[in-house]
Amino acid sequence: MIAKEINENLQNGSWIRKMFEEGEKLIEKFGAESVFDFSLGNPREEPPCIVTNTLKNLATEPPQGMHRYMSNAGYMETRKAVASVISDEISRDFPSENVVMTNGAAGGLNVALKSILDPGDEVIIFAPFFVEYMFYIRNSQGIPVVCKTDPEDFQPDPGKLADALSEKTKAVIINSPNNPTGVVYAEKTLKSLADVLSVHEETAGSPIYVISDEPYKKIVYENILAPEIMNIFKNSLIVNSYSKSLGLAGERIGYVAVNTEINESEKLLNALIFCQRTLGFVNAPALAQRLVQATAGESVNVTGYKINRDLLYNVLTDSGFSCVKPQGAFYLFPKTPGEEAEFIQTALKHNLLFVPGRGFGCPGHFRISYCVDEQMIKRSIPVIKKLAAEYF
Ligand code: PLP
């Protein structure tokens, strides 16, 4: 028999998975051209040419021992390349020793949580959130504590954070640009959160780690820059990946970077390296690390994502939906007109697949993932208008 907790999770199922299965059925019935699947967040943009060229060079002139084990923290040359990008971003020298290469952000989050959590420790997450956080926290026997953001702009609320803190709080996860809202958390708001945490840390006498999950950091529009978390929160760990920024989601490559200002940061780094090994990852994939070494500062072209965002944002708001305009990532998170489950079902009748907001801890909304073919969006526009006409 499988574990009870896993069994319960399987029974509940994932909303994204459920919608995917619905989509398969609809495609069989109506054909792919007539089904509009906005449920999956699979990065669409191809990696920049430099990634493909580096891959070709590695194949034709492989460095000696390219496929062997390495240090659990990853290749020093790759950690140096990552640290150099971070140094530019935070405008101060960042040491390569403080970077641990991981298997994507998902691997990095699990390694970070395993390194800091004792059973029963609480981790605050801001709703709406990436649903996997719940599982990652529980993987390390932690307890997720959900803190709502402002319903009008999805910015975190320092007062609500203060209320959510307890003597058991060990960490806070921040995700900006955010999945599912696309919102970039404002610097002013983040500074207020830092003040709240400092007060609590002082009384508690122990750090609260801010784990900043940043896989969408480079997917931003209109020259918006996501604030530098390490310059705002002393006790911060950055978790990032190249899944979206380089379009390498399948290659499972990312990192955890530990703020130099953390007391005993060396101990924390040793813990991360230990957990990278003992969670069974051993080390981040060798080939992908070589790619990152050559391309860490590069990014996919976000023009296609922006075109998609604008097409969908305009049709939604013009036809009556209420929606915060995303500044980054590739999702929209409008309010559902009427009851959420009923709306998702009505959308399905139009062959439109959205994920309900309750899947992100925020009912009364639906997520549209726009990392899809632009032509599909264009075909969906009259259908979205028809759906809207049922409500507005
Ligand atoms: N965090 C967020 C907010 C995500 O949306 C995702 C993937 O969609 C991840 C982490 C995991 O990304 P990775 O492919 O880097 O593991």
pLDDT in tens, 245-291: 999 999 999 999 999 999 999 999 999 999 999 999 999 999 999 99
pLDDT in tens, 224-245: 999 999 999 999 999 999 999 9
At residue 16 the predicted structure's pLDDT band, cuts being 50, 70 and 90, is confident
Return left, alpha or beta for 138; rule: phi > 0 is left, psi -120 to 50 is alpha, else beta. alpha
pLDDT in tens, 142-197: 999 999 999 999 999 999 999 999 999 999 999 999 999 999 999 999 999 999 99
pLDDT in tens, 320-347: 999 999 999 999 999 999 899 999 999 9
How remote is the CA of residue 41 from the centroid of ligand 1, in Å? 9
What pLDDT is attached to residue 42?
A: 85
Average confidence (pLDDT) over 83-102: 98
Contacting residues for 167 by C-beta, under 8 A, at least 6 apart:
204
Length of the chain: 392
Does ligand 1 come within 6 angstroms of the Cβ of 162? Answer: no
Assign 319 to helix, strand or coil. coil
What pLDDT is attached to residue 70?
A: 97
Whole-angstrom distance, CA of residue 224 vs CA of residue 166:
34
Does ligand 1 come within 6 angstroms of the Cβ of 108? Answer: no
* Residue 135: exposure state from Cβ atoms within 10 A (0-12, 13-18, ≥19): middle
What pLDDT is attached to residue 29?
A: 86
Structure tokens at 139: 């993987």
Q: What is the pTM of this model?
A: 0.96
Whole-angstrom distance, CA of residue 389 vs CA of residue 392:
5
What pLDDT is attached to residue 31?
A: 85
Q: Which helix (H) or strand (E) holds 49?
A: helix 49-60
At residue 43 the predicted structure's pLDDT band, cuts being 50, 70 and 90, is confident
CB 276 within 8 A of CB 73: yes
What pLDDT is attached to residue 41?
A: 81
How remote is the CA of residue 12 from the centroid of ligand 1, in Å? 21
User: Which of 39, 183, 213 to mutate to test ligand 1, by most ligand atoms within 8 A of the CB atom?
Assistant: 213
Average confidence (pLDDT) over 45-70: 94
Does ligand 1 come within 6 angstroms of the Cβ of 361? Answer: no
pLDDT in tens, 114-123: 999 999 999 9
Average confidence (pLDDT) over 205-209: 96
